[in-house]
Structure 1
């Protein structure tokens, strides 16, 4: 997100069931916002909203809330506005705005600031945590989840391939973009130091992906986006890179009788501001 790769909403949504599950688990751990006891609709921000499919889940949970999704990708925002913007069935309001999470700051008090699988694209996000907590109303919540699988074969292989002699000059660095993700313990310390009541945990989802080369299909929607953006317009190079990566992934993730096992580790944090 920070360096603005070109996104493909349809590719991203191909695995929407698996991608949405961590957000649902996060949502279940978020307490009712202060607005619930103050007789007013909740004000909610979704940082890195993508195509808006999980932003809509916030409207299901808080049907009268005013919810704004922020994203840097025009392609993602177009998808979100087309399918989710407007008045919600519960009388709330869903809108979407162009914004870079690396520089986003609350422009009004929020009951809830949430981010789903977006902060891994924002190297500066640990430094933004105090500003986001400050932007909450007393008793408000900051909640997010990020991938924790950057040492897994899918990402390690991508990094090695990007740094290989054949590809280094064109896509070097694009496979090692996520070293700024903190450990669960580091997030816990930082958010607790800010005075928040904090709940941090990790989960590994053991997923069975169907179809041929499903891990490649998965990463085409996320980790591969910077590489595909860098090679955009050179279809021969894209095909060759994908073929090499595909062959390596086949060895690392062999198909089984029920599909291809793809472990999916996530880090979650829910921090409630005093008040």
Structure 2
């Protein structure tokens, strides 16, 4: 794997926290207004966690899933009308009624170009609905980068493992001809003991945000990284006698409806 990749997705590890990861998708979907005619696109659909909810909200619509991870897309395919293996940055939709993206776009850089391009692909009156984690400045991710840099400082020379979203108000400037709804939510998540030991927050983040770092470490480096990260996480998120901890997790949301052009 090179520095531009994300490494392989482990479906079971990702789905171990399925309820916690689905909740923001349902909150996003609840704010989507009625749609014009056209297909639904689940952009970065992963293993298809949101597919049933999308079908229930908008029955009878064609549902298209797009994801670059073949192992995740294979799990999603039976829930979709069409499964497209593609990088979001290279994929071009045509007149979609809804482009729905839950926890995917933060992996891509250059939102100043990407977001207007996605919005332009909507049918008249169509909706772009996006949710992204907002954790990059939180202890979960600061300690992760610190632990990795202590072992391999070269990793971060000119490289960002996750470009991350823009400040939320910036999206209003990127979508001037949209009916726009922006908000953020912090979920206080209770994480149980991690299978195989280690801090519960490490188990949660390792299935997603830590993947680009883990993919660049050999076995010995990974063991040192995880030990150092566990120690830092223990100070930031104390674990109780039952092996559980409370984990605040921030999410960014926006829903943009096309209101015409010209």
Tell me if both proteins adopt one fold, taking TM over 0.5 as the criterion. Answer: yes
Q: Does 1:210 align with 2:192?
A: yes
Q: TM-score, normalised by structure 1?
A: 0.85
Residue equivalent to 2:11: 9
- Post-superposition Cα deviations, 1:110-165, rounded to whole Å, max 9, x if no partner, equal 1001100001100123312222122111110001010111100010011122222x
Q: Classify 1:249/1:7 alpha carbon distance in 2 versus 1 (closer, same or farther; 3 Å).
A: same
Alpha-carbon deviation of 1:257? 6.6
Q: Does 1:245 align with 2:245?
A: no
Q: Classify 1:2/1:71 alpha carbon distance in 2 versus 1 (closer, same or farther; 3 Å).
A: farther
C-alpha distance in structure 2 between counterparts of 1:68 and 1:120, whole Å: 20
C-alpha distance in structure 1 between counterparts of 2:164 and 2:219, whole Å: 31
Contact kept, 8 Å, 2:162 with 2:209, in 1: the verdict is no
Contact kept, 8 Å, 2:6 with 2:215, in 1: the verdict is no
C-alpha distance in structure 2 between counterparts of 1:125 and 1:98, whole Å: 21
Alpha-carbon deviation of 1:187? 1.2
Alpha-carbon deviation of 1:173? 5.8
Residue equivalent to 1:70: 66
Residue equivalent to 2:127: 141
Gaps of 5+ in 1: 36-41, 86-93
C-alpha distance in structure 1 between counterparts of 2:6 and 2:240, whole Å: 36
C-alpha distance in structure 2 between counterparts of 1:249 and 1:174, whole Å: 26
Contact kept, 8 Å, 1:159 with 1:175, in 2: the verdict is no
Residue equivalent to 2:86: 99
Contact kept, 8 Å, 2:24 with 2:251, in 1: the verdict is yes
Contact kept, 8 Å, 2:161 with 2:213, in 1: the verdict is no
* SS of 2:50 mapped into structure 1: helix
Contact kept, 8 Å, 2:107 with 2:163, in 1: the verdict is no
**How many residue pairs align between the two structures?**
253
Gaps of 5+ in 2: none
Q: Classify 1:235/1:257 alpha carbon distance in 2 versus 1 (closer, same or farther; 3 Å).
A: closer
Alpha-carbon deviation of 1:266? 0.7
Q: Does 1:230 align with 2:226?
A: no
Alpha-carbon deviation of 1:101? 1.1
Contact kept, 8 Å, 2:103 with 2:131, in 1: the verdict is yes
Residue equivalent to 2:253: 268
Alpha-carbon deviation of 1:172? 3.3
Alpha-carbon deviation of 1:32? 1.3
Contact kept, 8 Å, 2:202 with 2:230, in 1: the verdict is yes
* Divergent runs of 4+, >6 A: none
Contact kept, 8 Å, 2:118 with 2:128, in 1: the verdict is yes
Superposed CA RMSD: 2.1
* SS of 1:70 mapped into structure 2: strand
* SS of 2:34 mapped into structure 1: coil
Q: How does 1:130-209 map to 2 (within 5 A)?
A: 130-164=116-150, 166-169=151-154, 171-172=155-156, 176-191=160-175, 193=176, 195-209=177-191
C-alpha distance in structure 2 between counterparts of 1:241 and 1:180, whole Å: 22
Q: TM-score, normalised by structure 2?
A: 0.89
Contact kept, 8 Å, 2:31 with 2:255, in 1: the verdict is yes
* SS of 1:181 mapped into structure 2: coil
